[in-house]
Copies of this chain bind each other. A is one copy, B any other.
Amino acid sequence: MGNTFGQLFRVTTWGESHGGGVGVVIDGCPPQVKLTEVDIQPELDRRRPGQSRITTQRQEADRVQILSGTFEGRTLGTPISMLVANTDQRPEAYSEMKDKYRPSHADYTYEAKYGTRAWPGGGRTSARETIGRVAAGAVARKILKEQFGVEVLACVQQVQKIAADINSNKFTRKQVESNIIRCPDKAVADKMIRLVERMRKAGDSVGGVLLGVARGVPAGWGEPVFDRLEADLAKAMISLPASKGFEIGSGFGGTALKGSEHNDAFRMRGGRVRTATNRSGGVQGGISNGETIHFRVAFKPTATILQSQDTVSRSGKNVKLKARGRHDPCVLPRAVPMVEAMTALVLLDHALRHRAQCGK
């Protein structure tokens, strides 16, 4: 009962890793927006497995099909249903997981909750679930750009202990896409890639930190007190597989400062109210202040590793489990389009909510 996101731009995802496919229904999309599969597919390509030597070699084309909600290339205002068929299904590759819970995966918790579990490929806990998010996010991102002038972007900022220093206002999508780890600083990216390759060879994995930004958000988006813009961003990010932390603006690091050092002074600039610094991260009291929104998301090292691990079986025995075959040694490059998608979903939803109440 938690597969819908958003209040006004409502996104419902569905689908298991093995089964007919995965997909999404968007309800509340503004009408008359130009939209075809061509607007969606590139984002799915950035998310799909097998896209580079540092992602899992599972091969799926992940072709999206728009089944409803558009007519003659434009949105109707009615629900947009999108479908991606499952093609590369190898249930036999997962036969060992049928009876053993993978450590730090959701096998055990799903079974504890539902009393059942689709073990091939992890079922609903598979990263394939995010296909629907990325597809819906592509729609939201397009509308944000065309109708609100808002740009949403993410990049890899840190892999394990290798970190880049990135200016939230300046890095570009082109820079992000210029290398397979998706870090806009090429020198640091190279180091990150080498680390991930070492991990892949060792059958191990690493995590890291993504930076998400939104530029051009006008002052006024966000719905205190519970649906603060940053609270909805936090939920969106922590709802992504493998994410363990979220911070906006100065975040955890800001707790080392005194108030007199931390406050963002207001200054008039270019005829409008600006802040001299942006430790607030573009939000104050749950509402955007017109500065660039920037936040960081921590992703743990991928739980699937190709080493023998202690675990228990469904029948309650202590056993060993060793995964075989394909795995992602680092989820970060593929998480970039997911973070962008979720950011776009949050922002467009809030744009519509603001328009509803305040008429602008």
Closest residue on chain B to residue A29 by CB atoms: B357
**B3, A204: Cβ atoms closer than 8 Å:** no
Residues of B with C-beta under 8 A to A228: 2, 238-239
**How many residues on chain A are close to B (CB under 8 Å)?**
154
What are 15 inter-chain pairs, A to B, with CB distance below 8 A?
A: A8-B356, A20-B67, A30-B359, A71-B123, A103-B264, A103-B266, A106-B286, A115-B358, A205-B260, A244-B254, A245-B248, A245-B252, A251-B298, A255-B301, A266-B311
**A357, B30: Cβ atoms closer than 8 Å:** yes
Q: CB-defined interface of A104-130 with B at 8 Å, one 1/0 digit per residue?
A: 111011101111111000011100010
**A104, B263: Cβ atoms closer than 8 Å:** yes
Instruction: Check A227 for interface membership: any CB of B closer than 8 A.
Output: yes
Which one, A45-53, A168-176, A178-186, A347-355, is touching chain B?
Answer: A347-355
**A105, B285: Cβ atoms closer than 8 Å:** yes
**A219, B263: Cβ atoms closer than 8 Å:** no
Instruction: Check A23 for interface membership: any CB of B closer than 8 A.
Output: yes
**B260, A305: Cβ atoms closer than 8 Å:** yes
Given contacts A104-B284, A112-B273, A267-B310, 7 further A-B contacts (CB under 8 A): A3-B27, A19-B71, A23-B68, A106-B285, A207-B257, A244-B248, A352-B357
**B235, A109: Cβ atoms closer than 8 Å:** no
Cβ contact of A262, chosen from B114, B225, B300, B307, cutoff 8 A? B300
In the complex, what's the smallest C-beta–C-beta distance from A232 to chain B, in angstroms?
7
Cβ contact of A259, chosen from B125, B206, B268, B276, cutoff 8 A? B206
Quick one: which of A257-279 are within 8 Å of B by CB? 257-268, 271, 273, 275-276, 279
**B248, A109: Cβ atoms closer than 8 Å:** no
User: How far does the alpha carbon of A144 sit from the alpha carbon of B117 in the complex, in Å?
Assistant: 23
Instruction: Check A292 for interface membership: any CB of B closer than 8 A.
Output: no
User: How far does the alpha carbon of A231 sit from the alpha carbon of B223 in the complex, in Å?
Assistant: 18
**A101, B273: Cβ atoms closer than 8 Å:** yes
User: How far does the alpha carbon of A24 sit from the alpha carbon of B287 in the complex, in Å?
Assistant: 22
**B113, A81: Cβ atoms closer than 8 Å:** no
Q: A109-B289, A241-B285, A300-B250 are in contact. Are A25 and B25 (CB under 8 A)?
A: yes
Cβ contact of A22, chosen from B68, B76, B158, B207, cutoff 8 A? B68
Closest residue on chain B to residue A296 by CB atoms: B252
**B207, A262: Cβ atoms closer than 8 Å:** yes
**B14, A25: Cβ atoms closer than 8 Å:** yes
Query: Sorted from nearest, which 8 A-B pairs have the closest CB atoms?
Result: A106-B285, A2-B227, A2-B223, A20-B67, A205-B259, A245-B247, A109-B287, A14-B79
